[in-house]
Amino acid sequence: MRTVRTVAVCLAALCCGLAQPPEKCVIRGRVVNASSGAPLKRASVWVEPFLPTRGVNGSPTVSGAAATTDAEGRFVLDDVEPGSYLLSARRTGYLDQGYGASEPDVVGPPLKLNPGDALGDVTLKMTPQALLYGKVVDEDGEAVPDADVTVYRISYAGGRRQLVAVGAAGSQADGSVVIGGLSPGRYFMGAIVSGASDVHSREAYVRTYYPAAIDPAAAAPIEVAAGAEIRGLAIRLHKSRVFHIRGHVLEVASGSPAAGLVLHLVPREAGLLPSAAKGATTGQDGRFEFTGVLPASYRIESDSSAGFVVVNTRVGAPPRPPQTLFARTVVAVTDSDVDDLPVPAARGAEISGRVSGVAGTGLSVALVPAASRQPSDIVTRLEGDSSFRLHDVPPDVYEIAVGGLPDGAYVKSVTFGGQDVTNQNLDLTSGAGGALEIALSPDAGEVTGTVRNAKGDAVPGALVQIWPADGESAKSVKADESGGFRFRSLPPADYRVAAWENLADDLAEYPAFRARFGGQAVPVTIAQHGHQQVEVRAIPREASAAEAAKLP
């Protein structure tokens, strides 16, 4: 009896606890030239795990083992774990291609692989890169070697219209330059000769845009088709009167010179093109000089990344390093030099903070520069009692980001110095610090749903967005292989939900574009702990492209 019972227990354990691992999956297919249909040898093909919030429609990213195509353009990806994936291909001379994507350089809809699945006859059609052939000449039409030539495109990342660099190269001895790797679209080209003029000269070559514009807004656009080779793009450089800015930096507290401080000269107002900042370092007497400055209004500010310190509040934590000075002032250059400009410098802001309302590990608080919205170094992870201290925070305007929130939690309120700043940026340009109180709530709601097209079919990979009815900041996710989506940790409020068949990530961040489709968004109200399920009609690619073309 004991033997029979023992065998039965062992068999049960074998069945329940030693289950066989799921069968691996296989993907077979070909990579071909989208223009000619010819097979492409030596293309890399790979899968990356699908994440709803991953670069929503961004470029493919190599994140795992890749297969290489043979002479017939064929590939095999075997030993793939079951799951949802993005399939992409890359080859020299061609643009990255996501499987199922309607255009190059973006990921396609996700693929669902069940245990033992074997996909065959998968075809990725790659678009040849486009190339621009240009030449840089001076005011007399003579070739200019060693010029820095950049190709730009319009972007709406960060919520504003701007030019972003997508390619660059230096001009050759005959002034010629070639820039490739371009996808179909509209581009602009600019050139400048760095360090070619005497630093004390009253004239210098300035950045000039094709064909001969100093103002980027007056640059002529270059329309590029798939695989095109655009030739004869001559940029005639301009010279302009330039000036210098000389000054001295003094520490406010002591009145003594601030030596060794790295300064940047940047345009005061954000323009179409973020200008390259000029740099200078103060000497032992606190003095500095910027040369070759064009007439405009500028900010002079110290390197904001040099002195920020996060203090770990744990007992026994090592002492923080010395504080750093931060300088900031405004100066206008008209038709003359600026001399003996005083620039005050002071310690950064001191912030003591506390997060309350929700217990949890892994919480973090970050201050993100509002102008750039770039990942911030000003971040601290909470310990123990959820309190934190930030030292030497550079003077700037910040968005407050709380990371690591438990599922179902949201930021209910934020106060700074006793003032409610829940839906506002944190303005620290004065250098003053204070107490930052962040209250969390566990009463968040969620929205789930499905994206469908005009025929009622699910739209895998659609971009889905949700935003407050009275606000502009949106959250974005990519619909899964069934067209499903989910937004979690939503504060109670009225919202709008919209979906696009295909939309660039930068347009997704631009409120003015999203506002054009307000009438097609689905209204939804979220209560505490509320859950709403909606069905959203995807906005066709042609409609979003037409509206994007109308943007100023």
How many structural domains compose the chain?
Answer: 5
CATH code: domain of residue 300: 2.60.40.180
Q: Does 4 fall in a domain?
A: no
Which of 83, 110, 126 finishes a domain? 126
pLDDT value for 30: 97
- Output 371 or 154, whichever has higher pLDDT: 154
Query: ∠ CA 55-58-64 to the nearest 5 degrees?
Result: 80
Q: Does 55 fall in a domain?
A: yes
Q: Does 14 fall in a domain?
A: no
Q: 460 and 358, same structural domain?
A: no
The tokens of 272 are what?
Answer: 């179409």
Q: 381 and 365, same structural domain?
A: yes
Closest of 411, 314, 393 to residue 355, by C-alpha: 411
Give the amino acid at 40. Answer: L
Contacts of 345 (CB under 8 A, 6+ apart): 249, 250, 251, 252, 258, 261, 302, 325, 326, 327
Which of 441, 464, 489 finishes a domain? 441
pLDDT value for 220: 96
CA distance 455 to 133: 45
Q: Does 336 fall in a domain?
A: yes
Q: 259 and 214, same structural domain?
A: no
pLDDT digits (tens, 9 = 90+) for 120-141: 989 999 999 999 999 999 999 9
Q: Does 20 fall in a domain?
A: no
| Residue 384, phi-psi category: left (phi > 0), alpha (psi -120 to 50), beta (remainder) | left
Domain span including residue 67: 25-126
Q: 418 and 374, same structural domain?
A: yes
pLDDT at 63 over 80: no
Q: 308 and 389, same structural domain?
A: no
Which of 57, 92, 126 finishes a domain? 126
CA distance 521 to 334: 48
* Mean pLDDT of the chain, nearest integer: 86
Q: 323 and 256, same structural domain?
A: yes
CA distance 524 to 183: 38
pLDDT digits (tens, 9 = 90+) for 456-468: 999 999 999 999 9
Residue listed under structure tokens 């660099």: 165
Q: Sorting pLDDT into bands at 50, 70 and 90, what band is 473?
A: confident
Closest of 284, 286, 296, 285 to residue 263, by C-alpha: 286
CATH code: domain of residue 361: 2.60.40.10
Q: Does 30 fall in a domain?
A: yes
Q: Does 173 fall in a domain?
A: yes
pLDDT value for 349: 87
Q: 372 and 286, same structural domain?
A: no
3-class SS string, 65-126: CEEECCCCCEEEEEEECCEEEEEEEECCCECCEECCCCCCCCCCCCEEECCCCEEEEEEEEE
pLDDT at 196 over 80: no
pLDDT value for 320: 42
Cis peptide before 395 (omega within 30 of 0): no
Q: Sorting pLDDT into bands at 50, 70 and 90, what band is 525?
A: very high
CA distances (Å), 500 to each of 208, 451, 459, 504, 513, in order?
A: 37, 9, 9, 10, 12
Q: 449 and 432, same structural domain?
A: no
Q: 229 and 260, same structural domain?
A: no
pTM (whole model) above 0.75: yes
Contacts of 239 (CB under 8 A, 6+ apart): 139, 203, 204, 205, 206
- Output 272 or 331, whichever has higher pLDDT: 331
Q: 168 and 117, same structural domain?
A: no
Q: Does 10 fall in a domain?
A: no
